[in-house]
Structure 1
Amino acid sequence: MSSSVSHPLFARYYARFSHSLERGIARHRRAMLADLSGTVVEIGAGNGLNFAHYPPTVTRVIAVEPEAFLRGIAERAAAAAPVPVTVVDGLAERLPVGDGECDAAVASLVLCTVPDVPAALAEITRVLKPGGSLRFLEHVRSPNPTRARAQRLLDATIWPRLGGGCHCGRDTAAAIRTAGFAIEQLTHLSTADTTMPFPASPQILGTAIRPH
């Protein structure tokens, strides 16, 4: 199975549009990454917008990005990062990282795009040390029934095609729990908190722990 993913139109749009959202999202990225240390694997690093926010206690970031255009931008962002970042090709369902190699994993606006979320979470479990943490910032299914129905309709029709495989109505917190992680912190965010509009709203920000 190839590790390459090609979304050329979306990748170019996202590379431009994502920066306009940073005024609302950057502080949540910092909160997500606060107090991390050691070796970190970042799943779906995109164009590297997290890199500037890693604390100096992180000794190495393995940034996995399968989309070639975004990976090229991430490589340039890695050169300016405050910590060592290595950008690599790879899929969330088959991470190019050894068993138990990482102290923490980061999933930021990526689990919405993964074709097989349970497989991706199983891979995160594999590469984390026992007791390692998964930090996540993801947009999820709305608790409003009308909006949730709209998200389901979009996910079944045009949204994945427009959004590079994105599914806007996933219950990511439930998936993380089902994978065996213990969620220690969970904050619910809205468009007012992040400036991300519906259907990519609401969002969750949190920390989950891999069981020993």
Structure 2
Amino acid sequence: MASSISHPLFARYYARYSLSLERGIARHRRTLLAGLSGTVVEIGAGNGLNFAHYPHTVTQVLAVEPEPFLREIAERNAASAPVPVKVVDGLAERLPAADGECDAAVASLVLCTVPDVAAALAEIIRVLKPGGSLRFLEHVRSPHPARARVQRFLDATIWPRLAGGCHCGRDTAAAIRAAGFTVEEMAELTAMPFPGSPQILGAATTPVKSP
């Protein structure tokens, strides 16, 4: 079932702007993906800037992207990726993968945009094997009260409309834990300008079910 979400103006802006950020973010993408293996689902793959950094131990990437313009660019970037990448239409809340099909999931600058973060994280748990890994690189609420207030104001007014549904002040780390993940490691970064700063980079695992 098609599930495209079209943000034509923002998508064209983001396709250019994201390239200008790569000087600061590319090395974090490499850290994000290091050590992954097997089948990986990438949620909100955007224009596919992660693809070049996947290690050869990954056997398949299912890259889910609902925005048509960005998905088209991602398909071109998939052709030159060092691992097999299949780019598909889909939503974070309804991933096109079977229960327990994936060894790992990647969420990179996307959980700020999904309408229902809890539903998206529950869906990631569904498609991951027990003990599977979630790698995340997300911009989050500032720990500084004044900046956090600005982020809340932007989220309640113009920011989501201007930025393709993005919410700059979400507490994504808390949402990941609330979904049932165990956060194994996490670092705070400032690779993007405010209000998209700070970012968190880390790894979490799904619960291992008892026999």
Q: Structure 2 length as normaliser, TM-score? A: 0.98
What SS does the aligned partner of 2:46 have?
coil
The alignment status of 1:109 with 2:115, answered yes or no, reads no
1:124-163 per-residue CA deviation (whole Å, 9 max, x = no partner) reads: 0000000000000000000000000000000000000110
1:17-64 per-residue CA deviation (whole Å, 9 max, x = no partner) reads: 100000000000000000000000000000000000000000000000
Unaligned residue ranges in structure 1 (runs of 5+): none
The alignment status of 1:201 with 2:197, answered yes or no, reads yes
1:1-212 alignment, distance < 5 Å: 3-190=3-190, 194=191, 196-212=192-208
Inter-partner Cα distance in structure 2 for 1:113 and 1:50: 18
Across the aligned residues of Structure 1 and Structure 2, the Cα RMSD in angstroms comes to 0.7
Identity of aligned residues (%): 82
What SS does the aligned partner of 1:168 have?
coil
Query: Contact conserved, 2:43 with 2:92, CA < 8 A, in 1?
Result: yes
1:60-107 per-residue CA deviation (whole Å, 9 max, x = no partner) reads: 000000000000000000000000000000000000001000000000
Inter-partner Cα distance in structure 2 for 1:171 and 1:206: 14
Inter-partner Cα distance in structure 1 for 2:52 and 2:46: 13
Inter-partner Cα distance in structure 1 for 2:16 and 2:139: 19
Inter-partner Cα distance in structure 2 for 1:181 and 1:18: 29
What SS does the aligned partner of 2:10 have?
helix
Q: CA deviation at 1:2?
A: 5.4
Q: Structure 1 length as normaliser, TM-score? A: 0.97
Inter-partner Cα distance in structure 2 for 1:82 and 1:14: 24
Unaligned residue ranges in structure 2 (runs of 5+): none
Tell me the number of residue pairs that the alignment of Structure 1 and Structure 2 aligns: 208
Letter in 2 for 1:207: A
Letter in 1 for 2:109: L
Letter in 1 for 2:194: F
Letter in 2 for 1:47: N
